[in-house]
Structure formats: C-alpha cells, structure tokens
C-alpha cells in the first residue's frame, strides 16, 4: 500500500465518522427528547475526538510528506492530497482536549438556546454562549497561527477556504452603500402599484408537506437517498446518500415553508450530486459554504422566485389548497413571493434586505472574536445595527439576537457565506441561462432539469477539485466573484428593465 492509498483509507474512516455525526446532529434537532441531551453530548464529543485522533495520528505528517514527494497522482488525486494537507494543518492546530471541550460546550449551548429563544431570555443563554465563544476564540487563535492568518480569517477559512475578511469587508461595504437606496426605490415602486392580494388560509400542514415534496421532486431531489422533516431551525444535514432536510410550517402562510423547502433542497442537490467516486474523500466534499449557499439560493431565489417558475407554481398551489380568484393568479403570486419588506427575521427576509441581516452578523461576530464587543453588550449592538441597516428594531431578543442557532452551535465565521453565496448564485444562474437556453422555459413547465444538469457539470460534480470558490466560479462563469452581477439581478427583478 502506498502512502497515498493509506491516506485515502484513513480519510474514508474520518468521512464515515462525519456521516454518523451528521445523523446524530439531525436527530438532535428533530427527534431527540430533551432528557437525552447529556448522553448525546457525550456521543458527539467521543466521535469528534475519534475523528480528530485519526486526523492527527503521529505518522500522519510523514504519510502526507511521503505522498507529496512520491507524486505520480492524477488531477483528482493531487487535489485530494492538497485537501488532506489543508485539513491536517487545521486539525493539528487543535489539541484533542480542546476539541472535546468545544463539542460538549456546543451541545450544552444548543439546548440552552432552545429554551432561551422560546422564552426570549438572552440572559439565560449568556453563560453557555460565553463558554462557547471562549473555546472558539482559543481554537481560532491556534488555527490562525498554523495558517499564518488572523483568528477571524482562520474561522472564515474553515467554512470557505481562501476567504479573507479584507475582501469581504470591501464587498460588504460596497453592498451596504448600494442596498439602502435600492430598498427605498423598491419600496416606493411597490407603494405605487395596486395592493398585493394576500392568500387566505389556513393552509393545513399535511398539504404543505405534500406540496413541498412535489417541488423537491420537480427540482430533482432523490427520496431514496434523503428525506424531509420538521425542526425549529430549517437545515440540511445527514450523511452520504442520506441527506436530511428540514423546514418549519406556518398554517397562515404556506410560502414560508415552501420556499424554505426549496432553499434546503438546493443544498441537498449539491450533496446528492457530489462526485460519487470521491464521496468519502476530501476532494469529494462541497467547495466550501459560499458555494453551498449559492446552490440553495440558485434554487430558491434565482429559479423558484422567477416569473417563469411562479407561473407554473400558481396552478400547483391552487390545486393543493383549493384556491381560486385573483389572489391565486400568477402575477399576484409573483408579487407576493418577491415582496420586499423591512423585517426582523433573517430566514424570512427577501433578497433585497437579506444581505443587511448578514452584514450585521458579520460585523458583530468579528467584533466578538476580536474582543471589541462583549457578549453582554450583544442585544444592544444588535438592535442598533438593525436600526442602522434596516430601519427597524426588534421588540424582544427572540426576534433579535436569539433567532439563529449558528453561534450557540459553534458556527462562527459562517454568516458571510450566506451573502457571498447569494452573489455567487446570481453569477451562476446568469451563466447557466446563457449556456442552456432551455433553463427558463424549463422552469415555466416546472422542470429544473436543464438548470440542475448544468450545475451537476459545473458545480456539484467538481467537488473540491478547484482550490477555492473563486476558482470554481471562474471555471463555471469565466470570472471570479463579481458584485456587479448581483446588483444587476436585484435591479432587474425588483425595479424592472
């Protein structure tokens, strides 16, 4: 067995443990009784330590060096070895006791968040969140030293390899300067139009689920390798060939759950479309979370809120809920699903206001990691940011700083990928429509195949063969991330022309 073959065998074991952790994580959010939390924390911590021990075995560095020196690898193998080295550098930066302590602190904090969010009691979350932040900072410092970057850049790199705060600052400052004026113009345009007709519920959950699953099938989701469930916070998780997505239902508004399902289906399609020959190897992984978020948003925002798709969806929704009359006409439904409003909740936000929610979280978490903001000051800083960026102030912490699970769940450095993903989605969709003339006509008949086929070739099936999101995007569209494409998309969709 060559050094490279030995590495493939070891990383396949790491991937198997990751799959088990994915299923346990799904169960924690959907099915697990509260009384099982302590046992689950022990299980996930143990598996996390086992994976870490495999990754940091004493002979791993020698194996990597030997494989790199031997050469003779094809393009996929060479990229796989590059990704192995990247993961090893990150893993060896952290001692096993820190990995275990962080896993346990996250498990405890996630459970505390459930209660704190329900009761809008930030003070109840603060002690456990403070412990998570302490451990995340410690890990970020260690990884930053190993990678030769700042602690926050180390967190960004974990979620989106190669991503750096300096570039994100420039992109987000550009958007923060562009979006307020766009928002005002869009709101003025909406105010001058006839009122949107609201759809009258209730919309029974069983029918919502049935419609959601029908949309998943239309998008190409393989139900033999995945499922749809309910959780407090929608997500996509699970394991290889067992992709679990969740949503949450509101009987007064079926569009929230439906668009949530389509969003998570975009993530799931990426997972189900990864290169099968490399599914258990690092090169077979998705190319970071900005790319992953682009796939959820290309399905939900670019495709499913397009005039073409809404024209088809209107008939499906009428049949599902027995609707009729002007409110159920395609044009009204399109205006409903592209309605722009200032609001408190990120996951319910529209395309125009959503980036502001992300920019706020990005700026806050950077300050928290740097120590420039104390967690006790977070609610006030959050509300101030909402007033500045969106012109609204949450009436309580449940609608404010308690709405997301990411920080209690250890997902620091993750938030920027949402808006980077939205920008990437716009660029990919524009390229797909140019390359495949049937993309929009396909959506008009409820057929995602032309779009998903293009994505399978240019995104899903490439795994982590490209070294960065920009390299992936350049291969697919001919250029790295270009904010002008996203701006052009927003102006066309929401202002016309």
Instruction: Write out the catalytic residue numbers.
Output: 264
Residue 222 CA to residue 458 CA, distance in Å, equals 20
Q: What is the distance between the alpha carbons of residues 398 and 240, in angstroms, rounded to a whole number?
A: 34
DSSP letters for 42-63? HHHHHHHHHHHHHHT-TTHHHH
Query: Would residue 197 be called left, alpha or beta, if left means φ above 0 and alpha means ψ between -120 and 50 degrees?
Result: beta
Q: Which parts of 324-404 fold into alpha helices (H)?
A: 330-337, 354-370, 378-390
Residue 422, H or E segment: helix 416-435
- Contact of 22 with 51, CB cutoff 8 Å: no
Question: Which residues lie closer than 8 Å to 122 by C-beta, 6 or more apart?
Answer: 116, 378, 379, 397, 401, 402
Beta-carbon contacts of 128 under 8 Å, excluding residues fewer than 6 positions away, are: 105, 108, 109, 112, 408
For residues 393 and 385, give the distance between their C-alpha atoms in angstroms, rounded to a whole number.
9
């Amino acid at each position: 067995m060559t050094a490279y073959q030995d590495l493939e065998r070891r990383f396949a074991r790491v991937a198997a443990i990751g799959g088990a952790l994915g299923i346990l994580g799904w169960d924690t959010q959907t099915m697990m009784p509260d009384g099982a939390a302590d046992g689950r924390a022990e299980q996930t911590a143990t598996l996390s330590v086992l994976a870490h021990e495999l990754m940091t075995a004493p002979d791993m560095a020698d194996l990597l060096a030997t494989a790199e020196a031997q050469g003779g690898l094809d393009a996929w193998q060479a990229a796989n070895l590059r990704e192995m080295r990247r993961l090893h550098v990150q893993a060896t930066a952290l001692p096993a006791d820190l990995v275990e302590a962080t896993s346990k602190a996250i498990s405890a904090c996630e459970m505390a968040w459930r209660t704190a969010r329900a009761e809008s009691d930030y003070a109840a979350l603060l002690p456990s969140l403070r412990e998570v932040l302490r451990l995340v900072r410690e890990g970020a410092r260690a990884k930053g030293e190993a990678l030769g970057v700042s602690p926050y850049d180390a967190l960004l790199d974990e979620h989106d390899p190669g991503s750096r705060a300096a570039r994100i600052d420039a992109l987000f400052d550009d958007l923060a300067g562009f979006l307020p004026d766009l928002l005002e113009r869009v709101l003025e345009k909406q105010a001058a139009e006839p009122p949107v007709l609201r759809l009258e519920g209730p919309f029974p959950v069983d029918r919502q689920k049935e419609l959601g699953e029908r949309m998943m099938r239309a998008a190409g989701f393989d139900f033999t390798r995945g499922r749809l469930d309910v959780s407090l916070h929608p997500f996509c998780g699970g394991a290889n060939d067992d992709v679990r997505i969740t949503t949450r239902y509101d009987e007064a508004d079926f569009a929230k759950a439906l668009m949530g399902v389509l969003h998570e289906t975009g993530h799931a399609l990426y997972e189900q479309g990864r290169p099968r020959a490399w599914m258990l190897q690092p090169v077979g992984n998705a190319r970071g979370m900005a790319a992953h978020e682009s796939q959820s948003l290309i399905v939900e925002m670019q495709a499913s809120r397009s005039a073409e798709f809404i024209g088809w969806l209107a008939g499906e929704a009428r049949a599902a809920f027995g609707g009729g009359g002007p409110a159920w006409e395609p044009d009204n439904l399109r205006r409903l699903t592209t309605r722009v409003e200032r609001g408190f909740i990120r996951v319910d936000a529209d395309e125009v206001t959503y980036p502001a929610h992300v920019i706020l979280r990005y700026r806050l978490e950077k300050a928290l990691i740097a120590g420039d903001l104390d967690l006790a000051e977070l609610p006030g800083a959050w509300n101030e940011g909402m007033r500045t960026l969106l012109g609204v102030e949450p009436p309580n912490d449940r609608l404010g700083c308690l709405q997301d699970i990411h920080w209690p769940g250890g997902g620091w450095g993750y938030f920027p990928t949402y808006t980077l993903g939205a920008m990437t989605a716009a660029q990919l969709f524009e390229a797909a429509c140019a390359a495949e003339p049937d993309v929009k006509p396909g959506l008009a008949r409820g057929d995602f195949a032309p779009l998903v086929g293009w994505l399978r070739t240019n995104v899903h099936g490439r795994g982590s063969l490209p070294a960065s999101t920009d390299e992936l995007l350049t291969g697919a569209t001919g250029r790295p991330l270009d904010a002008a494409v996203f701006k052009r998309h927003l102006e066309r969709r929401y202002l016309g022309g």
